[in-house]
Structure 1
Amino acid sequence: MKHTDTQYEKVKQALFKANGTVYSVDTWIQNLNQTLGFSSSICESVFKTMKAHEELVQIDDLLYVIDKTHFRLGTLRVVRETFGFVGDKADAIYIGGRNFNGALDRDVVLVQCNQVNKQEEGDVIKVMERKRSFILGTFEKKGKTLLFKPYENKFPYNFEIKGEATPNQRVIIAVDRVKNGVVEGHVQSVLGLADEPGIDVISVLMVHDLEVAFNQDALDQAATMPDEVDPTSFEGRIDHRNQNVITVDGEDAKDLDDAIYLERKADGYRLYVHIADVSHYVTPKSPLDVNASERTSSIYLVDRVVPMLPKNLSNGVCSLHPNVDRLTLTCMMDIDSKGVVDNYAVYPSIIQSKRRMSYNEINQNDTWGNETDMIHDMLHCAQILHYTRNQAGSIDFESDEAKYVVDHEGNVLDIYRRTQGEAEAMIEAFMVCANETVARHCKYLEIPIMYRVHEKPDLEKVKGLSHTLRTLGYRMKGSLDKIHPKTLQKAMDYFKDRPEGPVVSRLMIRSMSKARYDQEPIGHFGLALEDYAHFTSPIRRYPDLWLHQCLRKYVFNHDFSHFNDDVQMAQDCAAHVSSKERDIMEAERDVEKIKKAQYMKDKKGEAYEGFISGFSNYGIFVELENTVEGVVPFRSMRDHMVVDMASQKAIGTHTNVTYVLGQKVNVKVESVDLQEHEVEFFMKEKRGAKKRVKYRKKS
């Protein structure tokens, strides 16, 4: 018998009042029958619904109420073998490694909550869903014994592995079971020697559960795609092939999503942003679409790109190469002299790019042949848009991205800091403008897309940022609990040309909430926009492709037959894409860390200038101009250093020599740990620090 909403709420309230007491199913049914008069079928119906809503967990015959005070259900995120967390950062519960109870990183677990020294901690009661079926690692020889060493330092267990392997082989271990502190498994496959070219990157992708190969159904569908645009697909599209359209990208880019064209008007400009119409080829629920929704994004690594779509699409018929017809979706915007979009249209189109240009080509020249006048107008239009965004409070973070020069085996030959020139700023301004315009359009039409949202930062993090900025000589004005992005932009402007500028930018980014996708348009704090979505990169981002599919379905074809399904799918997909985005970002950072360590391995003894980027109780972090970061251990310094983490400074107890964030320092490369991918520096110290004092760890 199906329960009513009233019956559901009454049973739920009764269960939550148990305050963490665990009873059997039969005991609960008997209790609810006596107190509420509900039959066993009604109770069982409510139990079933609560389980579906993850409000109740049944293990054998016992019911655990997920009230978040006594019990929680969530994903275990292991930081290292000694601890991990369950839940989102805002309310995550600490789990000590001794209390994993057989759980592995990313497993869905039932946790019992405890109060330990006034802090909430938890014990894993049961692994509800094993997410990690394999462990990556290397066999190392210890005497006459081969020992398995996991690639990640996330396992507080011993290992008993069956199967053949040789020393230094990187292997995939299938997990058979975890019992009594021992992972039992067998060798599933051998990737190769740990130091073989490419094995390092493949290892990172694997531990982050990121697929490289496409599934066979997607490949089969991709094989049916044309190499060129079929003229029969021109019907219903506005023909813009007569426009002097250009693309502007990095010199090595192959997946060209966007093209632009600009016309000058009496009161401003008319900007055309043409975006590759991937939705023409990748239709909803097709094999390519399903595979793309699982992958969620292209992955840009130091030495390779792992595309979201097969290359004959991403680099072929979808990519906006010059002098060939391409299908596009166009966002046309009339922009007045104050940078306001006062008229727009979004529609399917055809273009033929007349010229492929690079950022450097625009940044390093003043004339560009037939496109000279248009590009000057584009740069001016972009400046207007940027000024308008800046006045509204949009935050301009300093880029700390690295640019790598690599050989054919993925070895890094050089690293330098990526800078943003006028061309990059121009394209960013145009894409943000198009993204905002299309988001407003979809919101007005109530189309179920995934919005790009960025919530206001957590108050405690803002307070911490404010305190650190005060120690650097800047006081943030206004109420911190009602902070506006313009307040943060003013701080960025203050530090822009100061030594602390790059560090302040990074501190500000860390104080921010993480941008994510959501079915509701709750705004974008960092851009100071009420409505924002991703429209401009459907070749490499699934939310953009989903948006294109929604435009085609609801606006161009007026097909609302699957509207309710799409509302739910947008919600589910937004959560999946946001989670996967975090995995991809971690993988990209891990690969950069590996490649930077490999690049520095033969630089021992070489001198560099850098700036202080952070502190720990272990040492001072220094970042070089080429973006490589390393640590100067306190044990290598002449004085005994004490760190004031609140003020972000280190002070010598005998000499009073002080080191602060952003301070320029000279260092030499002391050592490089290729296992942990860490660089250690030796610092040329300030005068006054003459006496070497044995380092004593602060208790």
Structure 2
Amino acid sequence: MSHKTISDYHSKAIYDYGLADIWPEKVLIESKVIEDKFIESSHELEKFPFITIDGEDAKDFDDAIYCLATNDGFHLKVAIADVSHYVKTESAIDKEASKRTTSVYFPQKVVPMLPENLSNELCSLKPNKRRRVLCVEIDFDKDGIINKYQFKRGIIKSSARLTYSQVEKFYAEKYQGLEGPYVDSLKSSFHLCKKLLAQRQIRGALDFEISEPAIILDKEKKIKSLHQRRRLFSHKLIEELMLAANIVAADFIEKNFDNGIYRVHETPDSIKIDRLSQTLKRRGINWNGNIEDIENLSNFLKKMSSRKDASILNTLVLQSMQRAEYKTKNKGHFGLKFDKYTHFTSPIRRYPDLLVHRMIISILNKEKINAESLEEVLDYCSQKEKDAEFASKQVIQNLLCEYAKNFRNKNFLGFITGVKDFGLFVDIPDLFTSGLLHVNDLPNDFYRYNARNQTLDGKRRGNKFSLGDEIKVYIGDIKELEGKISLYY
């Protein structure tokens, strides 16, 4: 077989999931002529030392923050790139963005939703550059509960482009290492974040600690090393502030539109919850399975976090959840435990966020907006989001398969994460991947598949393999382009 490169994996994923990665000529022409002279005099928002906090490799900075501790609590400004100022409805760029609906992030490659002139330049909130924003100002009380909010369009000039690791270091080292007009704002945002995290606990929002690999590639773009991706306080900081902005955006839309745009996460299916309860019982964990009592599930996840098999338990719980989707009717968000929720903070890379911006701006301008076929558009966005996620995971799996070739015929501890009549899907935590152990490669027996209990039961010799079980496996054949690893018992 010919030697495969990361570019081959990108191409296959793009093809397999029908992703658009070539710009139509009209889009390129249109994006080249878009510019902004900023003829307006200084805007009131420009006097605030906003900052962006992103990953080291990020170029599309679509959110900036400013925070002030007040006598009553906190005042937060979340400024989001005003993409709708440049991307007009029915323009060639808008039509292409509505087709792509999301940027796709692969290792070593991004397929953006918007042309780079917009995503990495005009709309990107770069330091010391005037940039147009849709800003939401939120006042919180001392406990981090929202009192009031206000949306406004404006211009900001970010005072710093910080990374998650810089902010984490500043936080861990008791506010050493960063200097600038934004430092007080950053400190205030830490205090607000702690209040919001406390509110998250009170609500009983779910917090999944899933084992995700941080992949280090060598010069040949092969995996050099793998380690568990750490979730930093700085990640939680931005996450919580963006959640607050998304909640008030949902509230603003709900107050003004019969049909809005919501990020809906529905209550899990009772059959899946029953199955989860059975699986946990087999692992010696008694959980009553009352899904309405989300605090019960939230506390369960917290208690499990110290166990060696915490990651696999999180995976099993996650498998029993519904997938979040975009809907025109608000049904709340089960996982986050919010009555209403939407996506407002990433219009450079998500089309629903751009639509939310247009809705908010139409309210501010007291204009009508065409919400025809919104349901179909949102269904399409939900599907494209799924495609983008699976495409990205496929490339990661290709790379992990390549890496796993170094461990052929080696023995690993795994966990059964899927049971089918043809075999077992086994997660191998040490390699951050999974493979298939075919029923023919299990100990000699006549196996019956029990769909309700998710088991393979040996009828002759009494062998039994259940969802969640630990199992020792050997790495066998690997087809890296297909992302398949065969395992042996």
1:491-570 equivalences under 5 Å are 491-552=300-361, 554-560=362-368, 563=369, 566-570=370-374
CA distance in 2, matches of 1:282, 1:252: 25
Q: Match for residue 294 of structure 2?
A: 485
Q: Match for residue 478 of structure 2?
A: 672
CA distance in 2, matches of 1:648, 1:379: 44
Q: How far did 1:621 drift? A: 0.9
Q: Which moved more, 1:441-450 or 1:636-645?
A: 636-645
Aligned to 1:568, the other structure's residue is in SS state: coil
CA distance in 1, matches of 2:313, 2:404: 26
| Mapped contact 1:500–1:661 kept (Cα < 8 A) | no
Cα distance change of structure 1 residues 680 and 306 upon mapping to structure 2, 3 Å threshold: same
Greater fraction strand: 1
Q: Match for residue 94 of structure 1?
A: none
Q: How far did 1:514 drift? A: 1.6
Q: Match for residue 380 of structure 2?
A: 576
Provide the identity percentage.
29
| Mapped contact 2:73–2:141 kept (Cα < 8 A) | yes
| Mapped contact 1:218–1:291 kept (Cα < 8 A) | yes
Cα distance change of structure 1 residues 646 and 522 upon mapping to structure 2, 3 Å threshold: closer
**Residue 38 of structure 2 is aligned with which of 231, 247, 272?**
231
CA distance in 1, matches of 2:378, 2:80: 22
| Mapped contact 2:105–2:392 kept (Cα < 8 A) | yes
CA distance in 1, matches of 2:308, 2:458: 22
Cα distance change of structure 1 residues 614 and 641 upon mapping to structure 2, 3 Å threshold: farther
TM-score, with structure 2 as normaliser? 0.89
Q: Match for residue 7 of structure 2?
A: 198
Q: How far did 1:622 drift? A: 3.1
Q: How far did 1:196 drift? A: 5.5
Aligned to 2:338, the other structure's residue is in SS state: coil
| Mapped contact 1:620–1:634 kept (Cα < 8 A) | no
CA distance in 2, matches of 1:428, 1:309: 23
CA distance in 2, matches of 1:517, 1:448: 12
Cα distance change of structure 1 residues 307 and 407 upon mapping to structure 2, 3 Å threshold: farther
Letter in 2 for 1:378: S
Q: Is it true that 1:465 corresponds to 2:290 in the alignment?
A: no
**Residue 313 of structure 1 is aligned with which of 94, 100, 118?**
118
Q: Match for residue 41 of structure 1?
A: none
Deviations 1:469-506 (A, max 9, x none): 222333334755xx243332132123222133222222
CA distance in 1, matches of 2:437, 2:194: 42
Cα distance change of structure 1 residues 500 and 332 upon mapping to structure 2, 3 Å threshold: same
Q: Match for residue 600 of structure 1?
A: 404
Cα distance change of structure 1 residues 644 and 446 upon mapping to structure 2, 3 Å threshold: closer
Q: How far did 1:558 drift? A: 2.2
Cα distance change of structure 1 residues 399 and 609 upon mapping to structure 2, 3 Å threshold: same
CA distance in 2, matches of 1:259, 1:211: 29
| Mapped contact 1:399–1:420 kept (Cα < 8 A) | no
1:49-68 equivalences under 5 Å are none
| Mapped contact 1:474–1:491 kept (Cα < 8 A) | no
Q: How far did 1:399 drift? A: 2.7
1:360-509 equivalences under 5 Å are 360-364=165-169, 365-366=172-173, 367-370=176-179, 371-407=182-218, 410-446=221-257, 449-477=260-288, 479=290, 483-509=292-318
| Rg larger in structure | 1
RMSD between aligned alpha carbons? Answer: 2.9
Greater fraction helix: 2
Q: Is it true that 1:355 corresponds to 2:160 in the alignment?
A: yes
Deviations 1:89-135 (A, max 9, x none): xxxxxxxxxxxxxxxxxxxxxxxxxxxxxxxxxxxxxxxxxxxxxxx
CA distance in 2, matches of 1:492, 1:650: 27
Q: Match for residue 49 of structure 2?
A: 244
Q: How far did 1:578 drift? A: 1.5
Q: How far did 1:398 drift? A: 1.7
CA distance in 1, matches of 2:472, 2:166: 35
Cα distance change of structure 1 residues 382 and 626 upon mapping to structure 2, 3 Å threshold: farther
CA distance in 2, matches of 1:363, 1:639: 53
| Mapped contact 1:198–1:410 kept (Cα < 8 A) | no
Cα distance change of structure 1 residues 277 and 248 upon mapping to structure 2, 3 Å threshold: same
Deviations 1:507-557 (A, max 9, x none): 2222222211111122211111121111000000001011112222x2332
1:51-200 equivalences under 5 Å are 195=4, 198-200=7-9
Q: Match for residue 55 of structure 1?
A: none
| Mapped contact 2:416–2:424 kept (Cα < 8 A) | no
Cα distance change of structure 1 residues 675 and 431 upon mapping to structure 2, 3 Å threshold: closer
Q: Which moved more, 1:469-478 or 1:276-285?
A: 469-478
Q: How far did 1:611 drift? A: 4.5
Aligned to 2:67, the other structure's residue is in SS state: strand
CA distance in 1, matches of 2:209, 2:10: 27
Deviations 1:4-59 (A, max 9, x none): xxxxxxxxxxxxxxxxxxxxxxxxxxxxxxxxxxxxxxxxxxxxxxxxxxxxxxxx
Q: How far did 1:645 drift? A: 6.3
Aligned to 2:406, the other structure's residue is in SS state: coil
